């Protein structure tokens, strides 16, 4: 502590106090020139930033600086809960000035000056930010759930990203803005801007976004996207190697690169204006690399002296962008040193006053308040949406529907497989909603690895059904951006195992958008994933993946697993209607092994097929989110078998044999893994008092654990037994049978319960 005190005394630790003192000392040492530049002229030779605009941006920079000081002050007596500041990054105010106020922006957490520059007033900006700092329930975007930069009025999309996970969404939003549409949320000339830090540029999500932007450019797909890297040279305590960001960003194919001193307001403005102008004019992606500094450490508890030299700290202090702008204004004769200090103090007083006012505002005080915007469930609205879609398909859309199905409607043919049913339902979905898009790896010309999207590309064209690059992060990022822009994305992840490298796009981005914007922004989507196990001829753990724990752990996410064709269509329509009506993020997990299954009990019985229901029946077939389906077998009084996916077929086969032995069963198909149909579970379990859980996922972390918990929470007092797959990856070939649930194990478990 003695060493730290010595550093403070020397002014080398950037505390709020000495940062304030350094500013005052630096300004008092300056002398104004004899000549004064007119405010309408450039603030200095060789730049385009006018004096009048520079004065406005200086105020935004001062507000940003004082917000950091206020956050540290609030934290000093435990009333502030967020101290990651923007000191040293205030040059990003010029980026805001170089854009149109209607350009959607996704901001890095050190972009406070950008937020202040775009705000209607500095007082409004200060109140919004400080309400976030104190977790006030009156905070207008996240409602006290987190401190974010966001505002629907300012077209600033909230993000809490620290690892650039918002960049794939930015790519997706730019992709959507480039499409020709009548019902736009943003103007036709809008461009997307996303700011991010130098350390997060190394993250997989940033790499995916940079790669995707270049890939689209090389594919001749327009992408009005400006990525702004605010490079302060540090990732908390880890320095970014000198020259690394410039070398990496400038070498990206398909991305136009430019750089500027982010501590020089005029230079930053010119570079940002030039880069934004290029993107707006050419509708092509660009990267702007700003060199900044980080003052006052990473956050309130960060003592830089533990990992930085005095020389490095001093170099950053000498580049303080707020002092740099003040010096530029004084040298231009636009302000005197005394006027600068007066301006600094006036804005500081306003910010401190707002900080004192928000202190007493209420905090979120109940679970209901907190989770309200997370995942609204309005089944009546969803049912109404399905009815509206059906009405259009019967009436004005009937001719187009007949044409899309080549003159033969699916309900007029024979019973369909699971794959054929999903294909027909997707066709109807694309007909019903012009904003619906189907995309992913191999979904277009090939029609999907398993033929599920066959002919969709021919029926609706490359603008509605298209192949993407082979990167799941980008696929989900496209969906995030398209949903934000009012479209209805239906992306496909080719295999469940391929999702895991991109899962944070669902957890950290999709599921949080409504939560952190109080419902002001939504990213509705239905993510189709081919998954689960039991493939006989094409196996291994990458194609037979029975792990869904990561999906069930995401708050608000809907996880649907259709097992039979009869359920697939109404469940998929429910997911689509829920996305459209409630902004839901849905995962539609399709059991690969059941795609082309035809038989249930014996070869040739075709008992697994189902006729396709036409629009007249859609409303009546509605499958509400979180409702199970029960199949009674025999007198259905002896045993309840709870299962899903492949387990439904296995359990029905076992139940049929039990019926021959005189035991009646009810097989409960969960259908929805999240939210679990808890009420249906308890009711069906209580009807027999014996529950056998057949879970094809792993014993540890599998769905069965959630089922048991739901039964206990619901007051079930009967007997329960669980059959689950082994805690193992799935091996290739016949060895898979040893780790997966089989009919013999189900039969043994049933007899063990029936013997009680």
Please, what is the Cα angle at 112 between 108 and 117, to 5 degrees?
Answer: 120
Q: 379-394 and 418-432 helices cross at what angle (nearest 10)?
A: 80
Helices (H), 521-564: 549-552
Closest CA to 648 of 575, 746, 715: 746
Q: For the stretch 643-657, what's the b/e string if a residue is b when 16 or more beta carbons lie within 10 angstroms of its beta carbon?
A: bbbbbbbbbbbbbee
The distance of Cα 413 from the centroid of its chain, to the nearest Å, equals 40
Query: How far is CA 656 from each of CA 665, 668, 751, rounded to the nearest angstrom?
Result: 9, 14, 14
| Catalytic one of 66, 108, 543, 622 | 543
CA atoms within 13 A of residue 617's CA, in its CB half-sphere: 9
Q: Tell me the pairing of strands 558-560 and 672-674.
A: antiparallel
Q: Is 543 among the residues known to form the active site?
A: yes
DSSP state string for 111-160: -HHHHHHHSS-HHHHHHHHHHHHTT-TT-TTTTTSS----BTTTTEE---
Q: How far apart are CA 514 and CA 584, in angstroms?
A: 9
Is the sign of the CA dihedral 476, 478, 484, 486 positive or negative?
A: negative
Contact yes or no for 310/294 (Cβ under 8 A) = no
Query: How far is CA 631 from each of CA 489, 596, 606, 642, 737, rounded to the nearest angstrom?
Result: 33, 21, 17, 10, 26
Q: How far apart are CA 19 and CA 75, in angstroms?
A: 17
Using the structure block, give the residue that is written with the tokens 């200060």: 126
Q: How far apart are CA 310 and CA 312, in angstroms?
A: 5
SS3 384: helix
The residues, ordered by sequence, that sit 6+ positions from 480 with a Cβ below 8 Å of its Cβ are 168, 169, 172, 173, 505, 509, 510, 513, 523, 525
Sheet with 719-725, strands from edge to edge, namely 629-633, 665-669, 639-643, 690-698, 719-725
Contact yes or no for 264/91 (Cβ under 8 A) = yes
The residues, ordered by sequence, that sit 6+ positions from 728 with a Cβ below 8 Å of its Cβ are 698, 739
**Residues labelled catalytic:** 543
């Amino acid at each position: 502590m003695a060493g730290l005190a010595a550093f403070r005394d020397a002014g080398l630790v950037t505390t709020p106090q000495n940062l304030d003192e350094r500013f005052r000392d630096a300004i008092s040492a300056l002398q104004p020139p004899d000549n004064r530049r007119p405010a309408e002229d450039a603030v200095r030779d060789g730049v385009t930033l006018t004096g009048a605009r520079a004065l406005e941006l200086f105020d935004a920079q001062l507000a940003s600086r004082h917000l950091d000081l206020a956050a540290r002050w609030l934290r000093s007596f435990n009333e502030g809960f967020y101290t990651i500041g923007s000191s040293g990054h205030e040059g990003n105010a010029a980026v805001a000035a170089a854009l149109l106020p209607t350009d959607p922006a996704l901001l890095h957490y050190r972009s406070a000056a950008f937020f202040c520059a775009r705000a209607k007033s500095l007082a409004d900006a200060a109140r919004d930010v400080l309400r976030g700092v104190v977790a006030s329930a009156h905070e207008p975007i996240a409602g006290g759930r987190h401190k974010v930069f966001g505002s629907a009025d300012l077209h600033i999309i909230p993000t809490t990203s620290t690892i650039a996970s918002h960049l794939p969404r930015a790519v997706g939003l730019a992709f959507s803005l480039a499409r020709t549409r009548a019902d736009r949320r943003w103007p036709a000339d809008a461009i997307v801007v996303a700011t991010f830090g130098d350390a997060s540029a190394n993250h997989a999500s940033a790499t995916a976004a940079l790669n995707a932007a270049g890939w689209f450019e090389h594919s001749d797909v327009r992408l009005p996207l400006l990525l702004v890297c605010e490079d302060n040279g540090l990732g908390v305590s880890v320095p970014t190697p000198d020259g690394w960001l410039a070398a990496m960003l400038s070498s990206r194919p398909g991305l136009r690169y430019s750089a500027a001193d982010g501590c020089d307001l005029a230079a930053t403005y010119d570079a940002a204006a030039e880069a934004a102008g290029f993107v707006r004019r050419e509708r092509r992606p660009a990267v702007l690399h700003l060199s900044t500094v980080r003052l006052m450490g990473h956050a309130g508890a960060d003592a830089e002296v533990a990992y930085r030299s005095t020389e490095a700290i001093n170099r950053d202090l000498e580049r303080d962008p707020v002092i740099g702008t003040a010096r530029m204004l004084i040298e231009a004769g636009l302000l005197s040193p005394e006027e600068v200090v007066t301006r600094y103090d006036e804005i500081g007083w306003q910010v401190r006053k707002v900080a004192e006012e928000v202190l007493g505002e209420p905090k979120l005080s109940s679970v209901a308040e907190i989770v309200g915007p997370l995942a609204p469930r309005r089944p009546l609205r969803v049912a109404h949406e399905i009815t509206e879609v059906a009405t259009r398909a019967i009436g004005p859309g009937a001719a187009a529907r007949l044409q899309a199905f080549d003159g033969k409607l699916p309900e007029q043919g024979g019973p369909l497989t699971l794959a054929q049913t999903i294909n027909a339902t997707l066709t109807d979905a694309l007909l019903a909603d012009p904003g619906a898009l189907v995309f992913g790896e191999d979904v277009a010309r090939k029609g999907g690895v398993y033929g599920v999207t066959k002919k969709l590309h021919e029926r609706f064209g490359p603008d509605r059904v298209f192949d993407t690059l082979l990167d799941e992060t980008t696929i989900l990022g496209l969906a995030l951006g398209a949903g934000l822009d009012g479209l209805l994305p239906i992306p496909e992840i080719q295999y469940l195992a391929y999702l895991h490298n991109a899962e944070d796009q669902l957890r950290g981005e999709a599921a949080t958008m409504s939560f952190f914007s109080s419902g002001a922004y939504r990213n509705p989507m239905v993510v189709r994933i081919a998954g689960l196990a039991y493939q006989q001829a094409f196996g291994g753990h990458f194609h037979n993946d029975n792990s869904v724990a990561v999906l069930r752990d995401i708050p608000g996410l809907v996880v649907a697993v259709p097992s039979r064709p009869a359920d697939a269509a109404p469940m998929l329509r429910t997911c689509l209607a829920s996305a459209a009506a409630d902004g839901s993020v849905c995962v539609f997990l399709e059991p690969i092994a059941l795609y082309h299954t035809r038989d249930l009990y014996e070869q040739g019985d075709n008992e697994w097929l189902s006729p396709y229901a036409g629009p007249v029946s859609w409303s009546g077939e509605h499958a509400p989110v979180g409702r199970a389906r029960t199949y009674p077998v025999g007198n259905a009084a002896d045993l309840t078998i709870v299962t899903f996916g492949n387990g439904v077929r296995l359990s029905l086969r076992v139940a049929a044999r039990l019926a021959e032995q005189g035991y009646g069963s009810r097989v409960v198909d969960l259908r929805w893994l999240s939210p679990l149909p808890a009420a249906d579970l308890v009711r069906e379990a209580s009807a027999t008092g014996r529950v056998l859980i057949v879970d094809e996922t792993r014993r540890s972390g599998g769905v069965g654990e959630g089922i048991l918990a739901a039964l206990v929470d619901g007051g079930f007092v009967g007997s329960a037994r669980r059959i689950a797959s082994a805690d193992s990856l799935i091996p290739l070939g016949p060895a898979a049978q040893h780790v997966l649930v089989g009919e013999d194990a189900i039969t043994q478990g049933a007899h063990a319960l029936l013997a009680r």
